[in-house]
């Protein structure tokens, strides 16, 4: 029998308000403890370093996403038609249906309209001078854009972000936030599975296309409503948080804002740096399918993993000076959208939205000043509840 070292252990609660308010010191401790660290409170292993996060996400055959949520109840609730949980070949059929509309090539014709709408929204805010970057910008833009692309009715959209927030909380471990959010799933189900049916989705929309894919036999009929669910629950709140961070980071780092004003070709890189620096999705689950040996530790098949995206993106083993916000750094390989088979299907759209907002701000704003941000707490997502800002026009 070979000697197997057990994984280092930690009793940190990465889902507590205290840690979530400022998670980076705790992430650093986990990274320094080892490539996998047993989280005693949850009986799962944190994967905090860049290298292993990329490895786990890149190998779906060795690491299952069936337990993507940190509690069994929600994994079962999501059904086998959750594209996040599925393996090929079902996964590939569902993913292709999404990609037919979400791939960059498919979004090209939407780009001018998305840019026009960003410009219109931002112009109005510049006229006001002072506004809340979360309520008036970050929470408005993705709901409008993505809501229209999915083909959702206007009615009820005002409640969407609260529902989606609850849906993301349900990915958490069995904690108070998760338990408080479960009753709210009924509203999500009512809105999507009952309300966003084929006839209620706009003609030509991404939502309608899902039902047409089922008609054509590309995906099982039962998968269609769950793909609409994926569009609704994954496509808005994540971008909301990225846009909130965008204003906050640019206000906090005026030198970076001026650098961007001087060279607008940096916009894609700047938005990536915002994503790297503050990852909207902080953690998702995986399960080890066959014994996994990493350095001198072997995790047995069945071990549950908490893959820490936000930590990987700040790993000093991968990034020079990781806690420096630097829009000129080489950041193509950030892991905010995940990686591999289950990488975010909407990343081209998120990027388009983010770059459109940044460009609209560059068109009209010379300085961004921010007041004190209020943090929003969610088991999975990192973002702001409010951020008062004042913009100085060009």
The contact set with another protein (CB under 8 A) reads: 58, 92, 96, 99, 102-105, 108, 332-333, 337, 339-341, 343-344, 347-348
Cβ 106 to another protein shortest distance, Å: 9
Cβ 28 to another protein shortest distance, Å: 24
Cβ 306 to another protein shortest distance, Å: 21
Which one, 347 or 390, has the nearer CB to another protein? 347
What distance in Å separates the CA atoms of residue 277 and residue 331, rounded to the nearest whole number? 10
Cβ 286 to another protein shortest distance, Å: 15
Which one, 51 or 261, has the nearer CB to another protein? 51
Q: How many CA atoms lie within 13 A of 63 on its CB side?
A: 26
Which one, 138 or 345, has the nearer CB to another protein? 345
Residues 6+ apart with CB under 8 A from 344: 234, 238, 337, 338, 350
Sign of the four-CA dihedral 37, 40, 44, 48: negative
Residue holding tokens 């420096």? Answer: 324
Which one, 173 or 280, has the nearer CB to another protein? 280
What distance in Å separates the CA atoms of residue 391 and residue 128, rounded to the nearest whole number? 9
Contact (Cβ atoms closer than 8 angstroms) between residue 98 and residue 219: no
Which one, 42 or 337, has the nearer CB to another protein? 337
Cβ 109 to another protein shortest distance, Å: 13
- Name which of 6, 59, 88, 36 is nearest 290 in CA terms: 59
Contact (Cβ atoms closer than 8 angstroms) between residue 94 and residue 318: no
What distance in Å separates the CA atoms of residue 69 and residue 240, rounded to the nearest whole number? 21
What distance in Å separates the CA atoms of residue 37 and residue 20, rounded to the nearest whole number? 18
Which one, 99 or 370, has the nearer CB to another protein? 99
Contact (Cβ atoms closer than 8 angstroms) between residue 45 and residue 10: no
Cβ 149 to another protein shortest distance, Å: 16
Which one, 178 or 238, has the nearer CB to another protein? 238
Cβ 279 to another protein shortest distance, Å: 14
What distance in Å separates the CA atoms of residue 388 and residue 380, rounded to the nearest whole number? 24
């Amino acid at each position: 029998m070979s000697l197997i070292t057990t994984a280092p252990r930690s009793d940190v609660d990465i889902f507590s308000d205290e840690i979530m308010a400022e998670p980076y010191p705790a992430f650093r401790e986990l990274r320094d403890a080892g490539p996998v660290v047993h989280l005693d409170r949850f009986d799962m292993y944190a994967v905090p370093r860049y290298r292993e996060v990329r490895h786990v996400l890149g190998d779906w055959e060795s690491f299952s996403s069936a337990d993507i949520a940190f509690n069994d109840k929600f994994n079962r609730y999501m059904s086998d038609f959750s594209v996040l949980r599925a393996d090929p070949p079902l996964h590939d059929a569902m993913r292709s249906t999404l990609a037919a509309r979400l791939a960059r090539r498919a979004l090209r014709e939407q780009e001018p309209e998305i840019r026009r709408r960003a410009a219109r929204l931002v112009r109005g805010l510049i006229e006001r001078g002072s506004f809340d970057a979360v309520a008036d910008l970050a929470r408005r833009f993705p709901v409008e854009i993505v809501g229209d692309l999915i083909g959702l009715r206007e009615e009820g959209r005002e409640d969407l972000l609260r529902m989606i927030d609850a849906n993301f909380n349900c990915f958490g471990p069995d904690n108070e936030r998760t338990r408080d959010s479960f009753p709210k799933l009924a509203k999500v189900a009512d809105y999507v599975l009952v309300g966003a049916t084929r006839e209620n989705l706009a003609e030509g929309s991404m939502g309608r296309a899902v039902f047409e894919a089922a008609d054509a036999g590309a995906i099982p009929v039962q998968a269609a409503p769950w793909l609409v669910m994926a569009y609704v629950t994954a496509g808005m709140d994540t971008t909301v948080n990225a846009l909130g961070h965008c204003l906050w980071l640019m206000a906090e780092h005026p030198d970076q804002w001026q650098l961007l004003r001087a060279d607008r070709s940096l916009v894609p890189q700047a938005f990536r740096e915002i994503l790297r620096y503050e990852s909207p999705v902080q953690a998702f689950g995986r399960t080890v399918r066959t014994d996994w040996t990493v350095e001198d530790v072997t995790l047995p098949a069945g071990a549950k993993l908490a893959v820490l995206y936000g930590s990987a993106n700040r790993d000093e083993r991968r990034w020079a000076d990781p806690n420096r916000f630097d829009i000129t750094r080489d950041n193509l390989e950030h892991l905010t959208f995940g990686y591999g088979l289950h990488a975010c299907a909407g990343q081209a759209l998120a990027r388009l939205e983010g770059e459109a907002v940044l460009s609209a701000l560059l068109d009209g704003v010379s300085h961004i000043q921010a007041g004190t941000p209020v943090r929003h707490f969610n088991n999975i997502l990192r973002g702001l509840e409010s951020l008062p800002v004042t913009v100085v026009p060009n």
